[in-house]
Amino acid sequence: MQLELLEDFRIRLVQVMKEVTHDSLGDTFCAILNGVHYITDVLREWCNTTFFVELQYHNATRPVEPSTGADEEDTKRPTKRAGAGFMADESVFDEGIDLFDKLKVEMEKNILKHATLDVQARSQPYRKYRWRNLEDSGDLSLSTPACDMLMVLRDHLMTMNRKLSKPLFVKMWRKLAEEMSKFMLEEVVLQNRFSEGGAKQLEFDMTRNLFPLFGEYTTKPQNYFRLINEACTLLCLRVGSALLLREVLMSEESRLEKEQALQDLGVYKLTPQRALNVLNSRTNLSVT
């Protein structure tokens, strides 16, 4: 009976969730996600309690009663032996936990997609910025095209922090950071050419403005932006070192030797081909 009530409750949550999916950072959607997360945690705790372990044992070892009207052949079939269907690593809540977990994953994806797409929608001026024409002025400040994009990102972080339970929020901001890092590499760095001034401006925007948005939640936000952080390292590398590295990456050396050359510069996440593409986006390196 309790399992049926639990399933009825889950179905009702799904119905309400679908009604507010368009507002995935709204109060109702976030409240449902918090509730689903709490329920799965409680059910996992109950799995290890003596009462529910015994209940699972009795359910698994209960003899199978022949149905009314069974023929003679059916009645000759042996009933389930004690202990034959019991698995110590199973519980009465496994199916329910699995269904609630799937719901939680779906809702987390909705929130991440909503926040990511909203930030990306404000990024076009930044992606189309005149990176190749920027001069190295030495006096840097946040580039104007980045302001709107970063403000939207900050607002989404604040909303998630306010509305989601701590474990959920930690999970979500880490995923959002990784998505932003990937986006900045693929849609900004690899789609543009960079002068020395442009490379320094991008590094300033990332290390002094994007990363610090997450600094309230971790002491080392740069660790969650490995792709774009390493790309900035390569863009700002001295010309001589960059030429030597590019020569290694374009050579017939083994992949292991190329990776070692990158690791000597603190680049671990970018593949040799990705690293070469980043170097080729520099205007002060002649591409052959």
pLDDT, one tens digit per residue, over 211-253 is 999 999 999 999 999 999 999 999 999 999 999 999 999 999 9
Residue 63: DSSP 8-state? P
pLDDT recorded at residue 27? 96
Q: Per-residue pLDDT for 57 more than 60?
A: no
Query: Global pTM?
Result: 0.83
Where is average pLDDT lowest: 5-19, 158-172, 216-230? 5-19
pLDDT recorded at residue 64? 52
Q: What is the pLDDT averaged over residues 148-159?
A: 97
Q: Per-residue pLDDT for 72 more than 90?
A: no
Chain position carrying tokens 């900045």: 184
Q: Per-residue pLDDT for 117 more than 90?
A: yes
Confidence of residue 84 (pLDDT cuts 50, 70, 90): very low
Asked if 241 and 278 touch (Cβ cutoff 8 Å), the reply is no
- State the helix-helix crossing angle for 226-235 and 166-183, rounded to 10 degrees: 30
For 239-264, b/e burial (b = at least 16 CB within 10 A) is: eeebeebbebbeeeeeeeebbebbee
Percent of the chain predicted with pLDDT > 90 = 73
What tokens were used for 32?
């449902």
Higher pLDDT, 157 or 8: 157
